[in-house]
A = this chain, B = another copy of it.
Amino acid sequence: MKKKFNIAVVGATGMVGQKMLEVLAERDFPIDHLYLFASSKSAGKEVEYRGKKYIVEELKESSFDQDIDIALFSAGASISKKFSPIAASKGVIVVDNSSAFRMDEKVPLVVPEVNPEDVEWHNGIIANPNCSTIQAMLPLKALHEKYILKRVIYSTYQAVSGSGVKGYRDLKEGIQGKDPICYPHPIAFNCLPHIDDFLENGYTKEEMKMVNESRKILHAPSLKVTATTVRVPVFYGHSESINLEFERSFKLEEVRKTLEEMPGIIVMDDPKNNVYPLARISENKDEVFVGRIRRDESIENGLNLWVVADNIRKGAATNTVQIAELLIEKQLL
């Protein structure tokens, strides 16, 4: 008989939390007991999982006194900062979807197809990378292994669901002319070069997440990376224009084959038949879609890619659940 586990979802009523439950059910995750936590505001709400109703409990320090094997956190960085160490100290393994611990040297940052070995050295907390980083890691890892990355230039086209229900609302109501609440400017029919807060160096935190997390996940601490991250009027699915420079020369056909062979990637690249990755095609899919594969003639060993994934699934919920699955597979749970 397959062993079953006691699972907690922290932030169970949020957009990502809800998607985590959907993904856990779809993938038939071996759950014995399911605990759902949220803020006091959402506590008491009823949430369904596989036809059974659960009452959402208020998240407290004592929540983790219960017999929980693994807790999937998606309740924001401040909640994670406070409660993840408490959970870990009580023997719960935390997979944290916030930015709180991603760059902590003692915390692995994992994309299961890319650096599964990193879950092995966890100390109770494993971080799930930023959505825009996760999807880029699959093609970059596949190609880095073969051609060695020198430089990465990201320009992103990110969906409003990355900001949760408020971002979704801003677009939905914005197209009817309502003022934004979540964003400082209207997102409807507009592109905002502004995701997360601005830093002293003129970059946003989102941009620096892409820079720093890419290096950590690829184990390439001196990889040259720059990013411009942009919110676009799309509900689901982040798109990315990625310009790459490699140490080694490549044949375009080899690049395509390498990408096709990478688990988790679907190559969609038949432009003459209008086949290329699209945000709306990525919706509710777990794969990363890669297309517009073409040589950048402006530099030696240059390559342009267009990479799309559902930011709430592969960019958040699915990757988190995959990390939990990996822990089971490696008998670390």
In the complex where A190-B280, A226-B296, A302-B226 touch, is A155 in contact with B241 (Cβ < 8 A)?
yes
A186 to B297, CA, bound (A): 31
- Which positions 231-268 of chain A face chain B at CB distance < 8 Å? 232-235, 237, 239, 241, 243
**Quick check: B306 and A228 within 8 Å, CB to CB?**
yes
Q: Which of A1-9, A96-104, A133-141, A196-204 contacts B (4 or more CB under 8 A)?
A: A196-204
Closest to A232 in B: B232
A175 to B233, CA, bound (A): 11
A255 to B225, CA, bound (A): 22
Checking B153, B185, B233 against A153 with a beta-carbon cut-off of 8 angstroms, the contacting residue is B153
Q: Which of A31-39, A82-90, A270-278, A313-321 contacts B (4 or more CB under 8 A)?
A: A270-278
What are 16 A-B pairs at a CB distance below 8 A? A153-B296, A155-B241, A171-B189, A185-B274, A185-B280, A190-B280, A191-B232, A191-B279, A193-B239, A193-B277, A194-B274, A198-B272, A202-B292, A226-B243, A226-B296, A226-B299
In addition to A228-B306, A233-B234, 9 A-B residue pairs with Cβ atoms within 8 Å of each other are A153-B153, A155-B243, A190-B237, A201-B294, A202-B293, A226-B243, A226-B299, A228-B292, A230-B239
- Which positions 65-112 of chain A face chain B at CB distance < 8 Å? none
Residues on A lying within 8 angstroms of B by beta carbon are 151-153, 155, 157, 171, 175, 184-186, 189-194, 198, 201-204, 224-226, 228, 230, 232-235, 237, 239, 241, 243, 271-272, 274, 276-280, 291-299, 302, 304, 306
A218 CB to closest chain B CB (Å) equals 14
Chain B residues positioned under 8 Å from A152 (CB to CB): 298
A223 CB to closest chain B CB (Å) equals 9
Number of copies: 2
**Quick check: B151 and A298 within 8 Å, CB to CB?**
yes
Closest to A298 in B: B224
A22 CB to closest chain B CB (Å) equals 20
A158 CB to closest chain B CB (Å) equals 10
Chain B residues positioned under 8 Å from A184 (CB to CB): 274
**Quick check: B228 and A186 within 8 Å, CB to CB?**
no
In the complex where A239-B191, A280-B185, A299-B151 touch, is A233 in contact with B230 (Cβ < 8 A)?
no
Closest to A270 in B: B198
**Quick check: B291 and A193 within 8 Å, CB to CB?**
yes
**Quick check: A276 and B189 within 8 Å, CB to CB?**
no
A296 to B225, CA, bound (A): 9
Checking B185, B194, B241, B297 against A230 with a beta-carbon cut-off of 8 angstroms, the contacting residue is B241
In the complex where A203-B294, A297-B226 touch, is A191 in contact with B157 (Cβ < 8 A)?
yes
Looking at A153, A278, A291, A295, the one whose CB has the most chain B CB atoms below 10 A away is: A153
A279 to B191, CA, bound (A): 7
A224 to B243, CA, bound (A): 14
Chain B residues positioned under 8 Å from A191 (CB to CB): 157, 232, 234, 239, 278-279
